Structure 1
Amino acid sequence: MYFVDRSIAVIKPKQPFLDWLNQMPGNDVTLSLADIRSDCTVLMIPEVNEQEDGIAYIDDIADKVFEMELASWYQDEKLWPKSRTLKLFWEWFDVEIHTVVMDTIDQDIHNSPVDHGLH
């Protein structure tokens, strides 16, 4: 096992995000909060020693994370909330910061850019 010089942030949707999803046009499946919180986005962030430092980093990239989360469900930006403020981000998402990341694989990590959001 190897220490990785990163920390992680787990992005967990909250009830307002679920409410938005469930009222989308053409959505014929009603999701539960447990459904959308069971397999959440995990972001590698710069290595931090304190939770607060990880939260501050997420504050800095919240607009990109918000867009990435919305795009993972609906690509049509016209369906997204018009005003995506930092306050709205924190109303729609919980974020767990984990300061220690270990790699159990003895192989290089390969990166590929995402289509929307974080670049």
Structure 2
Amino acid sequence: MILLPTINRSVLLVIPKQPFYDWSNKLFPDLEPTNMADIDEYNSYLLEDELFIDDPKGELKSYWKKIFLNELYEQCMDETTFPALSWKLFTQWFDFHRSAVVSDLTSDPLYTDE
């Protein structure tokens, strides 16, 4: 049996819902509208090891605003266009899935790009 090496992080996959794209589409009416059904690539976020989503709001309390802002910045860097951030809006605009085990299938060293 081959045991794959794991890293000391869990992963949160964040999937924008249509209301997020509706907000973005209103900002750029001259561009082709983005529809959720057309998107097949999403952002993942590394969190501390063994973060279990039994109480998402409590367990993501120190992360959800950072994630929300990052997702907004990827659409538009003008903060004056951003909605008021709230947990309720976050859950209306995004689905998220977690993975408690992250296996590293490469031999390349991990690095941080800042």
TM-score class normalised by the smaller sequence: 0.7 to 0.9
- Do residues 20 (structure 1) and 2 (structure 2) align? no
TM-score normalised per structure 2: 0.85
- Judged with a 3 Å threshold, the aligned counterparts in structure 2 of structure 1 residues 49 and 88 are, in CA distance, closer, same or farther, namely closer
- Judged with a 3 Å threshold, the aligned counterparts in structure 2 of structure 1 residues 61 and 54 are, in CA distance, closer, same or farther, namely same
**Aligned 1:75-94 pairs, distance under 5 A:** 75-81=77-83, 83-94=84-95
Deviation at 1:58, TM superposition (A): 2.4
Q: After TM superposition, what 4+ stretches of structure 1 lie above 4 angstroms from structure 2?
A: none
- Judged with a 3 Å threshold, the aligned counterparts in structure 2 of structure 1 residues 49 and 110 are, in CA distance, closer, same or farther, namely closer
2:5 and 2:105 in contact (8 A); partners too: yes
Deviation at 1:25, TM superposition (A): 3.3
Equivalent-residue separation in structure 2 for 1:49 and 1:25 (angstroms): 37
Equivalent-residue separation in structure 2 for 1:86 and 1:70 (angstroms): 14
Percent identity for Structure 1 against Structure 2 = 27
Aligned partner of 2:113 in structure 1 is: 112
**Over alpha carbons, which structure has the higher Rg?**
2
- Judged with a 3 Å threshold, the aligned counterparts in structure 2 of structure 1 residues 57 and 112 are, in CA distance, closer, same or farther, namely farther
Aligned partner of 2:9 in structure 1 is: 6
Output the aligned Cα RMSD: 1.8
- Runs (5+) with no aligned partner, structure 2: none
Q: Which moved more, 1:23-32 or 1:8-17?
A: 23-32
- Runs (5+) with no aligned partner, structure 1: 114-119
- Deviation track 1:57-85 (CA, whole Å, cap 9, x = no partner) reads 3232111111100001111111211x111
1:14 and 1:91 in contact (8 A); partners too: yes
Q: Letter of the 2:72 partner, please give it.
A: L
Query: What is the number of residues matched between the two proteins?
Result: 111
Aligned partner of 1:103 in structure 2 is: 104
Equivalent-residue separation in structure 1 for 2:89 and 2:56 (angstroms): 18
